Every structure is written in structure tokens, then in C-alpha cells.
Amino acid sequence: MKMEYLINNSLIIGYIYKLLMFVKNKFKDSLIYGLSISFVKKIQYYLSYSKIWNYLKRPDYLDTIWRNSFIYRVLDKCLNGPIIFFRKFYLKYEEAFSYSYIFKFIKFLISRFEIVIGLTLIFTFIIPDHRWYNIYGVLFTLILLILFIIKIIIEPAKSIDIFHLDFSLVLFFATITLATVTSLFPRESINYFIYYLISFITVIIIISSIDSTDELNRLIELLLMGTFLTVLYGIWQWKVVGIEVNPSLTDLTVNQSMSGRVFSTMGNPNIYGELLVLTMPFLGTVFFNSKSWWKKAFILCISLPIVVILLKTGSRSAWVSFAFAMFIFVFFKNKKLLPFMILIGILCIPILPQSIYRRILTIFNPNDSSIKYRKQILEPAIPMLKNYWLGGVGLGNQVFNTIYKRYKSFALKTVAHTHNLYLQLWLEAGILALGSFILLIFRLFKKSMVLIFNKKDDSINNILIACISGIGGLMVMGFADHVWFYNRILFLFFIVVGICLCGLKLLNKQ
């Protein structure tokens, strides 16, 4: 009713609506639309008879096996046993605690714990790279953990929820722990292991503390607020301060008109592109989940500068990955909109700035220095993999570089990583870690797809679609870059995993 009122009474909105309807009707009569619809119908036809597709849509029974396992029971006892003890202590002295102003303040914080988690994410995003120290991530997680433990002690209905924690995530963390223990340089690997640990802890905190769709939506809105603040900082870099072209990040021989690349608070444009790829699909979540048209309008307004800054990163892998993420989002939201998505993509090509258009074309240019550099890195990595394929060399770029030096040619300078997430993970943590990670991604997609197709709750479906879109986009980017090299992106990736598992928990409870 509100939308009809705005269309009938607003000249601007009414004009835009009529224009969109005119374009829609004309597009429906076009050859592109006909071909696109035929293509989509063919995909649907083949998928309906695909054994793989039908397997993906089946309910999952492995969770039942996991929850009845000995390991699950031991893990549950170890984590929740001490909580029961401290809860008895609290109940005994509850009245004494009630007089403490500090305790009252803590109770106020944990009553809106999703906001505390969201504010932590905002601080993690907005601190500029030259001011960021990895210890900040550890301290933020430690504060969250202390507040979370207090929350589950004083709230009898709460516990550490491993029931909704997928076994593949536990398996992956176990392989990462094993890679740390068996590392060729354990002391150096422990430093990197800590960031996996705080990421795993944060996933558990999100799953255990958020119990409603409204709480999860608020967390996502704060996540987007952090992203938008980094965009504002990126605009300030670009328009006010100015960014010089960095020859180490841009091949000037094939990108003559390329301006300086925006990196915002992440210190590197490719890393910043990774952050945007992971978080931008949640714009769709907030848009579709919002009941207020003014909030929808606000999301549309902030989407434009976010897309512009994504283009200004100059990260070709981020552009391709974002396009893939949007394809996943539209496919699961409404497959009928795929032709319109293709049309919009085609119409946007002529209006792109020449520098960005040329930058896109360099993806296919074999003379581009970054492509050549990646090939040079991969050549020594293959013989290294043959020697360390089983257990890896140990976590962290310091351990990797120490061993990689024995294999690399003298022409290569210092190499931070292999520019490939999957190869890097294999080299550092071994085949078991790579296998369990792929299993984790597969199970997140499978479980999300089953519930999305069941259409139980549109709000949570929108959350799940954004999660698998962002994760899918980052996984594509992982073929061209080691997307976990920067610890803040590693942490953010598992935040999105935690949001996805929390959405699955809420839908399963329904």
C-alpha cells in the first residue's frame, strides 16, 4: 500500500516507475530476453534430471551422526561443564552481584549482545592499516568472550551451542591445530594459529548468543555500517588526499591511464576488494528485509558509492568475484531476474570510465606483469608441494617463506604467498586441511540451498543467500589471491560463516 501511494502521489517516483515498466516491456520483446529465458529454462531442465543437483537438495543426515558421536559429547562436556559450575556460584551470590554498578553495566551490554558484536566489527574495519596491530583483533575477541561467558552464566537458557556448529568446521579447526603442532617451525606457526582460534571462537559466540532474526538483522546492519565507513574513508583518500599510482600494484605499460587505487583502511587495494566482495551481498539482505521504504531508499543510495569504490580499487579479481557473487544472489533470490542482470551488465559497459574499461581488458593480456609474476611464483610451488603435500610446512607466511626460498629461482624477489588460497592452504596445513575446508564450503552451500528452496522464512533466506554469495565470491577470488593473507579478512570470512550457521540454526528451529 505504501509503494502504491508513493507511485501515485510522487512525480519523481512515479516517473521512475513508468520508465522502468517501459524498459521492462520493451526488454521482454527483445532477442536478448528470449535467448536468456531459453538459457535459464535449459539450465532448469538439466538440473531437474541432475543426480548431483538432486543430491544437493536432499536433507542432511550427517549432522545426526555427528551429534550422536563420542567426540561431540566430550566437546560438549568440556565446554559447558565449567559453565554449570560457575552458574551455581553466581546463583548463590546473585543478590550481592545485583548491587554492583559494574555488573549492572555488563548486564546492559549483554542484553543487546548482537550490537556489541557489531560494534566490534566496525572497530575492526575502520582502524587504518598503519594504525592496526594484530593484537587488537585478539583483544576485541577476548572482550567478546568474557562478556559472552558472563551472559551464558547468568542466563539459564543459554549455553555454548555446538549443536548447531557444523562438524566440518570442527574438523577444519582440528586440522589447523594439527598443522600448528607438526609445523617445521612451531613457534612461528602459533602466532598465525591464534587468528584461526579467535575466528573459531567468534563463530561459536555468534551461533550461541543470537536467537532471533531481528538480532541477526541488526548484526548485519552494523556489519554494513562498518563497510560504508571504510567507503567514506576511501572516498576521502581518492577525492581529498589523492592516491599516487603504485608501480608495484599496477603495470603502467598496460594501464597507462590508470589512477591510484583506493585501499581505504586495509592498506592494499586487493585486500580491500576482498572485504567488499564479502560484505556487499548483505546490501541485498538489508534491502529485502527492511519494512520501511525509507530504509530501502537509503540502502540504494549507499550502494552506488560502494560500487564506485569497488571499481576504484582496480582489483580485477574483486570485480570478477563480485559479478559471480551477484549471479549467485540473483539465482537464488529470483532466477527470472537473471536476464535483467545480464542486460544491466551489458548496458553498463559503455558508461564505464576508460581507465576501468582498459583495466578489465588487461585480464586477458598475457603481457600484464601481475599475471607473469603469478606464473613465476607457481612454478617453484609445485615441487615444494610434492615434498610437503601431506602435512604442509606449517601455518604462516614466515614458515612458508623459509621453505619456499629453497625452491624459488634467483629471479624472484621475496614472495609473501602463492596468490592462491587453496594452494597456500595445502602447502601450509596439508591435504587434510584443504579437504576439510572444501567440505566446509560444500556443506554450507548444500544446507543453505535446501532451506532456501523450502522457503520457510524469506528474511532468513535473504541472509543465507547473501552469506553464500559473499563466500562464493571470495572463493572465486581465492584462485587469484591468497585471500586469508591479511588477518582481518580471515576474521571477516569466519564472521560470515558464523552468520550463515546462525541463519541455518534459526530456520531449523522453526
> How confident is the model at residue 16, as a pLDDT?
62
Tell me what pLDDT residue 52 has.
67
Low-confidence residues of the chain: pLDDT under 70: 1-37, 39-40, 43-59, 247-258, 349-355, 357, 360-369, 410-411
> Can you tell me the distance from the alpha carbon of 492 to that of 258, in angstroms, rounded to the nearest whole number?
29
φ, ψ of residue 94 to 5 degrees: the values are -60, -40
Residues 129 and 216 in one domain: yes
Q: Which domain holds residue 32?
A: 2-49
Q: How far, rounded to the nearest angstrom, does the alpha carbon of residue 501 sit from its chain's CA centroid?
A: 13
Residues 77 and 15 in one domain: no
- Are residues 233 and 264 in contact, defined by beta-carbon separation less than 8 angstroms? yes
Whether residues 75 and 130 fall in one domain: yes
Residues 138, 278 share a domain: yes
CB atoms within 10 A of CB 203: 23
The answer, as to whether pTM is greater than 0.75, is: yes
Q: Are residues 39 and 124 in the same domain?
A: no
Same domain for 176 and 146? yes
Would 369 be classed as within a structural domain? Answer: no
**Which residue spans within 36-84 are E strands per DSSP?**
none
383 found inside a domain = no
Answer yes or no: is 16 within a domain: yes
H helices of 389-457, where?
A: 397-404, 421-429, 431-454
**Do residues 325 and 281 make contact, with C-beta atoms less than 8 angstroms apart?**
yes
Cell of 29: 520483446
pLDDT of res. 346: 72
- Name the DSSP class of 100: -
Domain shared by 338 and 445, yes or no: yes
- Count of domains observed in the chain: 2
Residues 334 and 265 in one domain: yes
Indicate whether 42 and 83 sit together in one domain. no
CA 39 and chain centroid, separation: 29
What pLDDT sits at residue 19?
64
Residue 353 is assigned to a structural domain of this protein = no
Identify whether residues 68 and 37 lie together within a single domain. Answer: no
What was the pLDDT predicted at 289? 94
HSE, side-chain direction, 13 A CA sphere, residue 501: 29
The pLDDT value recorded for residue 50 is: 67
Co-location of 188 and 309 in the same domain = yes
Residue recorded with cell 582498459: 358
Cα Dmax for the chain: 75
Question: Counting runs of H as helices and runs of E as strands, what totals does the chain give?
Answer: 25, 0
Q: Is residue 389 part of a domain?
A: no
Residues 23 and 67 in one domain: no
**Can you give the pLDDT at residue 248?**
62
